[in-house]
Structure 1
Amino acid sequence: MNKDHIPIIYQDDDIIVAVKPNGLLSVPGRAPENKDCLISRIQQTRPEALTVHRLDCETSGVVVLACNKDSQRELSRQFHDRETQKRYIAVVDGLLADDEGEIDLPLIADWPNRPKQMVDFERGKPSQTRYNVISRSNDTTRLELTPITGRSHQLRVHMLSLGHAILGDRLYGCDRVIAQSPRMLLHALELGFTHPTTEQFCVYQYPAEF
C-alpha cells in the first residue's frame, strides 16, 4: 500500500472506515517531523474527523474514525468495553508447534526501554490473544491473531513471548527477524463494531498486502 494513499472503505455522517498504511502514525507525534499522520490526512477532506483508536505506526489495516463527539464517545465506549471484533494477520519467525492456542500473559510498560512493553506477572495488566495458524513455510508461520484485550504492543509482545517474533519488527525482533522483511508483517484485517446511530453491527475488512 502506498503510504500517501488512504483507502476509504466506508463513510457517512457519523463514521469513516479507513485503511492505515504501514509506516504512518495514527495521530501526530510530539516532534515536528511526526505531524503527518492518518487523522491529519483524513481531516484534509473531512475536517470533522475524530480519532477513536490507534494502530502502531508499523501496523497497517482497518481503522474507524468518528465524525462527531457523540459517535466518538459511543465508539470509544465499545473499544473500552471490548464490544468490538478485531482480527489481524501476521507472519512470524519460526514454525509454531500448535495450530491454535491462547496466550494469557500480563503486560506492562518497560519504562527504561520505552516505548517497549514487557510481560510482568506481578504488575502487568491482564492480556489475552488467540491465534490460529493459516500456513507454515520456509521456517515462518502465517497466522490469524484475535486480541481479547487491547494492550499497547500486545500482539507483538505475545508472539515474541512464544519465541516467534513478527517478521520485520524493528522494536522487538532480532537482526535476523528484522532482515526478513522491509516492513513489519502485521495487518489489522477486520474490524467490527455497532454503528453509533443505526445500532447495526458492521464488519469491515481489507486484505493484507503481504
Structure 2
Amino acid sequence: MTEKLWGGRFQKGTDKVVEDFHSSIRFDQRLYRQDIKGSMAHARMLGRQGIITLEDANKILEGLGAILADIDAGTVEFDVAAEDIHMNIEKLLTERVGEVGKKLHTGRSRNDQVALDIRLYLRDEIEETMILLQSLIKTLLERAEENIDTIMPGYTHLQKAQPITLAHHLLAYVQMFERDLGRLKDCARRMNLSPLGSGAWQVLPFPWTVKVLPRSFFLMALQKTA
C-alpha cells in the first residue's frame, strides 16, 4: 500500500515521471499563507467546538505558526512527492508536532480547503492591485491638473487630427482605469463568499464548518449551494 493520501488501494508507488507531472507545488506554493491561515482558523474552531482538545489545537497552531515563519524566511524546501502546498504543509506539520498534526483535517474536505485558499489568495491580490490602480489614477489626475493648458496633437487612424490638451488625453486613461477598478471591486465581491462545507459537491454534514468558520475570514456570506 502506498503512503499517498489517495493511495489506499494501490500496491505500488507512483512512477517518478507521473509524480513530477501531477505535482503542483512548483506553482501553488504561492498559496502557502492562505493555506496556513485557513488551517489555523480550522484548528481554532476544532478546539472551541470540543472536537479536539484545546491542548491539541494549540500544538497545531504553534506548529503552523512556526511553519509560516520558516516559509517566510525561505528556509523550507518543498517536497515534490507531497504533490501540492496543502499536503506539503500537512507533512511539515506532522513532522513538527507528531501525530496530533493529523487531527487538523478532521471534518474538512480537501475541496473546501483548495477553494478557500484560492478565494483568499485572489481577494488579497485584488486588494493589492486596487491599491496600485488607485495610486495610478491619483497620479494621472495630478498630471492632468498640471497640464490643463498643455497642447498636444490628437490622433485618429495614426494620423494627427486636431489639437487637444494633455489633460484631456490623460483623463481618457483615468476613465479607462476607473472602469477596471469597478470590475475589480465586483470581482472582490464575488470572491467574498465562503465555500466551506461544500465538500466535493454534496455538502458536508458538519454545521460548525459552515456557520462558524466564515467569520474567521471576514467573509460576507455563504454560498447558496455547494
Of structures 1 and 2, the larger Rg is shown by 2
Q: TM-score, normalised by structure 2?
A: 0.27
Q: Compare the two structures and name the one with the higher strand fraction.
A: 1
